[in-house]
Each structure stands twice: as structure tokens, then as C-alpha cells.
Amino acid sequence: MTHAKRAQRPTGRGAAARRSLTTAATVLAALALGACAAPRERAAAPPPAAATDQPNIILIVADDLGHGDLSAYGGAIRTPNIDALARSGIRYDTAYSTAPICSPSRAGLLSGRFQGRFGFYYNLVGRDVGMPAEETTIAEVAKQANYQTAMIGKWHVGDGAGRHPLDQGFDSFFGFLGGATSYYPDGTKGLVTTDSGEGKLITRKRFPIMEGRETVNPPGNITDVFTDRAVKFVGSRHDRPFFLYLAYNAPHSPYAATTEDVQPFAKDPSPQSRIYKAMMTKLDQNVGRLMDALKADGLDRRTIVFFISDNGCPNYAEGACSNAPFAGWKAFPLEGGVRVPFILSAPGRVKGGQVEALPISTLDIMPTMAAAMHRPAPPQSEGQNLLAPSALSADRILFWRMGPNHWTRRGPWKLITINKAADVQTLADVMGKPLPDGTQIGLSPLGQWQMLFDLGRDRGEANDLSPQHPKAVTDMERRFDRWDEKNIPPAFTSRREFRTEIDGKKVQLLF
């Protein structure tokens, strides 16, 4: 069967489920899994002797931070504090989020299982939908282990009944519920800004900061404010271990900085780049502030710290950000969309200065946290315990799905199955112009492309090898169909469509 025929008439129970997608738009979705390394033993410190030795845990999530934005990963922007965090533990070079966009990625992270299990494939875009209230979150697992829990920053997995952070296992919440907010109070003078599309529509009035369930409007840069709150929380006199979920909105749009913060980058010819570097420097400085606070309180040796990004950086940053050395952007089904920075610092549990090339996923955070807290991970969780030296494997199979579009990585191979499109668009065609809610988009009437890449030799995903390896295509699609049986149709539709090209082929991305 040719690829074109198979795309138009999918087979298998998972494919049948995809044919029934009458409620969803399709997405693009990033998959790439990357550079595979041969299995090797990873150094680890002995586990704590006593089961009562529960470490504090901090999960730091940056927003739209590209793989190539950190100097720890070879980027041009100096990030010495995040680099130091990497040196204190493990820097993972083949780490992936569960989606190339914010909402579903965070739903997978918080629940510890692929978000398609509960139909969460697309961004919320202002709707009262999201992660089901009955999903078990990492905060709820921490509560079961008698942890004090706090959430600071961006939520973005739903704010309807039962979906607020305070209803999902967090003792306290300070942040915002939607996808973005303004870094400074509305009307702040003297800012250097540059933005396009939806970034201009993001204000504190439309997307307020909340303390608990009440609206507040703190002065100053919100990255500083979030860190102030984080420092205060970790410095409190805790009578039990704590879990802090610190979800910065930096460096997500809208792009803004003070004249003072931009000044060190005045020689950069790009206004967008100057602001972006200032925002990245601010983020790095605040990570340093938090780590200094841990040391000052004698908590650094008793605290596990994760640092990750939710997905790759976007093309609407006008070249200021970087997913190097990979192709693609946020919302793209390429390495640049889902390959993310991932750092784990766990003094006394993992040896510092390690670099790990075997593939991992943000799904691994749930079982890793549970193991550290001496609690079983929820039975439905799908990740691996990163504190177990033998957990990782070069043969790990990873899957992604965004509506009818999906991809699979097995060893060096990655297979992308994605809707065909008749034409391409520019960002100006789609920014700030969401599809009507309920727009039905399933399999393209043109069929789907299938593209097979050898990530070991082609990390830029520029050479489709599907014609030369039809058996690999068939095998990987069958594996996807079996995995996909546990997913359900989209619980809500996509409101964003983008038609672009991948490897010279016109494709439809829905996110």
C-alpha cells in the first residue's frame, strides 16, 4: 500500500478512532526525539538510607524557552546561573515535552500521562475547558506524601469548576490561570517593547494575576515578583518537606523589558533580540536568586530541582530565540518544537557534572518525584524514574498525537504522519485570528504525508527516507495504533490552524 493510500484510508483500531474525530482540529505537534546514544551506565549516588528522608522538590518551568537559548546547551545568550544548576546535576540532551505547545504539554507534565488519554490535544484559547478535575496531579501525589505544596506562575490547564490549582493539590497559588500575562502593570512607562499578533492583546486587565482566588496587581517585573514569592515560600519555617511548582512566563510573549535591562545588549542590531536577551538574563538571574536562597537557608543539599521548558521557542519571536541545532519551532512536528532543555539537580542522589544523551520525557517527572518522596506513582502514570540508573534506554519508544497528526520515535527513527495542505500561509494570516470554537477538522481530504527521518544522521529532519524503508514505516505505524487505543477523541477543538512546509511538503498544523 502506498503512503498516499494509507493516509487516506487508515487501518487499525487507533486509526479508526482518528477517523471518528469530528470534534477536533488537527495539530502539528512536535515530535522529534533526538540524537540517540548507546546505552551506558549513569553515575548515581546511593539512595537515602531512611524512607523518611524526603527531599524538598522544586519544579521550574520556563515558557517557550528554546533548546538553543541557554549557554549550557551551546546557546549564545549567557545564562550562568542555569548553567551552574546543570553542572550540579544532570543535563539531559535528548529531552522531550509531550506536545509542542503550552496547554497540552503542561497537562501531560502535571498528570504524568499523555494528555490524549483525556482528550487534551490543543491550546485552550480562552475556553472553559481543560484537564479533567479527576486527574491525579503531581501536587496531589505530594500531598499524599505529607508535603506542603505551592504553585507560583502560569497554570494554563483550565480554570473551570474543580480545575483551579487550589482544587488540584496545591495549598497556595500566586500566578495567572491563562496562557500569558503582561510582565508589568498596564500603563507602565519607559518600557522597551516589540511584539506582533496576539502579544499586543495581552494585558493585566485581560489576564490578571491572582493570589489564591482573588485578583491582585503587583508592581514590577512579574519574573522578579514570582521569584520573590518563591524565595519567601522556601524560606518559611516548614515543619515538613515542600513541593514548589514555579512556572515562569518568561520568555513567552509579550516581549518587554526596561531600558536598563536592555542596555547591556545595545550593540545587538535587532530590537527584538535585545529585548529577548534582557528577558532571558532576567530569568537566569532569578533562578540564581532562588538557588542562593536555598543555600542561605541550608536547604540546597536537601532539595531536588528540575528545570525544563514546556516546548520549543516560536517563529514569531522574529529570530530572537533559538532551537539550535534543530529545525522547526513551537507548534511544529520537528525537533525544534518538542526537544527541550531539561536539568535535574539532586545532591546526594545523582552525581553532578553529568550529560545524558539517552531519550527522556517530561512524563518522567511524576515517577521520579514519587520515588524521591517514597510514594508509588499513580498506576496510570507513563514515565520512568530518572533516579534509577538503569531506567533509561536508547530503545525507548515515544509517541505524540495532536488530533489526526501524530509521530513516533523508535531508536534513531522518527515517523511523522501529518495532514496534507493545498497551500501555505504566513504568520500574519493566522496570528490573532482564531478559528470559531467547534470548527470540525479531522483527516485532510487530501490525505496525509508520512515522513521517516533517521535522527542519528539527520537531526535537521531534512531527508525523508520513507520510500527506502517501507517496513520501518509500517512497523512504527502499527506500534502507534496500539498505543493510540488508550487515547480518546479530542475533548475540544483546535482554534488555530497553520499551513506551512516541511521537507518541501505542504502540511496542515493545528494547535
List, for residues 291-321, the tens digit of each pLDDT value.
999 999 999 999 999 999 999 999 999 899 9
Helix then strand then coil, in percent of the chain rounded to 5, is 25, 20, 55
Q: 3-class SS at 303?
A: strand
- Give the model's pLDDT for residue 378: 96
Compute the distance between CA of residue 282 and CA of residue 248 in angstroms, rounded to an integer.
11
Compute the distance between CA of residue 339 and CA of residue 203 in angstroms, rounded to an integer.
30
**C-alpha to C-alpha distances, 9 to 1, 19, 265, 444, 447, nearest whole angstrom:** 10, 9, 54, 11, 8
pLDDT at residue 230 tops 90 = yes
Non-local CB neighbours of 48 within 8 Å, separated by 6+ positions: 55, 348, 349
pLDDT band of residue 25 (cuts 50, 70, 90) is very low
Only one residue has cell 503582561, namely 182
- Give the model's pLDDT for residue 197: 62
Q: What is the pTM of this model?
A: 0.91
- Give the model's pLDDT for residue 428: 75
pLDDT band of residue 2 (cuts 50, 70, 90) is very low
On the question of a cis peptide bond just before residue 55, with omega within 30 degrees of 0, the verdict is no
Determine contact, residues 224/282, Cβ cutoff 8 Å: yes
- Which residue would you say has higher pLDDT here, 31 or 317? 317
Determine contact, residues 317/16, Cβ cutoff 8 Å: no
Mean pLDDT calculated for residue range 317-335: 95
Pick the closest to residue 245 from 258, 255, 233, 260 (CA basis).
233
pLDDT band of residue 196 (cuts 50, 70, 90) is low
Over the stretch 122-167, which tens digit does the pLDDT of each residue have? 999 989 899 999 999 999 999 999 999 999 999 999 998 899 999 9
- Give the model's pLDDT for residue 41: 39
Q: Could you give the residue numbers annotated as active site?
A: 102, 156
Least confident window among 39-48, 169-178, 214-223, 353-362:
39-48
- Give the model's pLDDT for residue 34: 33
- Give the model's pLDDT for residue 52: 59
Mean pLDDT calculated for residue range 347-360: 95
